[in-house]
A and B are shown apart, each in its own frame.
Chain A
Amino acid sequence: MATDKVDPIHQFNLTKLIPVEIGGLDLSFTNSSLFMVLVVVSTAAFLYLTTSTRGLVPSRMQSISEMSYEFVASMLRDGAGSQGMRFFPLVFSLFMFILIANLFGMVPYFFTVTSHIIVTFAFSMLVIGLVVVYGFWKHGLHFLNLFVPQGVPMLLMPLVVAIEVISFLSRPISLSVRLFANMLAGHITLKVFAGFVFSLGTLGALGIGGAILPLAMTVALTGLEFLVAFLQAYVFAVLTCMYLNDALHPGH
């Protein structure tokens, strides 16, 4: 297992904690599942406990909960209008889950739930599926106006519609790959640089001197990764708001 210590991919391995198998499907409770549970329980507990006093003048911790609420609320109101507020619980849950999962990933030895594409893809399919279902349910076939921008010459219309359709279909992919790739690449880069420190450190005095460079890089990258962790959760939530806006107002 010594090679695993410096193997940058090892951190993404799933290990089965409680093997479960139903009808040939592997549904084991893995380390990923464990961290999903941890993310959900800690976030829910934080939000629940900090707001339990319902203080008129909020305590610091209550302010954090209120700020995250108002942050997502203003994001959704700006992105999808006041009608979009009916999706607030979903957007809030998505933002909080992704943010806390990303930040959990920054803790050493913690598993990053969002570094697996199936998780981010499931989230993006949830959003796009909601957009499509709600769009057709609310607007019927008018929802297809989404693909027909107004004021485009008839000659260019087939081309524009084709582009719009392709861009719509690529949304779940771009939405999921963006989050997944940022998390994956960030953690691999961190691990690689941290691995350099380890490898150079074993090479004697000169190596220890040389290890300072990747060490500084690791520290800087850690800061950057915290930023990315927040930013990607924010980007995911903002794009969710924009896509929901399409479902609410398909006529552009």
Chain B
Amino acid sequence: MSENFDHMEMLLRRLKPQMPNPELRERIGADLKLDEAWLPRQVRRAPRWLVATGWAGLGAAAAVVALAFLTGGAVERGDAGGPGVAQSVEVGRVQGQGVVQPVRVWSVERRAWIDPTDGAEIMVEIPKADGGQVVLPVNFQ
């Protein structure tokens, strides 16, 4: 500001605003506690290892599906399901004849966690592969 006001500004700045009532801090704290949606976004994020596992699982599942297509096997996908534990089964026919055939079964287990406080959802897919002999339906032969 103009040099004429320098002394005046200095004088006025000596004064410090009055501290508010300590109750005010408590009231604001209570208000902020009522709705914690203001909490930083990273709270909703899953731990780093869980995210990495999820992506790895997703990649593995994609690889399994691609492999099944490439080997010419029949693929059947079950119901994806909602939150909780769901299973989708992919069946690839390896070889065999007749009703009973040796097959390899790839499955993907989905697990979902929902944080009830903010609705954050974490889903992990765990691929599995099992071999064995099963009776296939007619359309698979």
The judgment on whether A and B are partners is: no
Interface residues of B, Cβ cutoff 8 Å to A: none
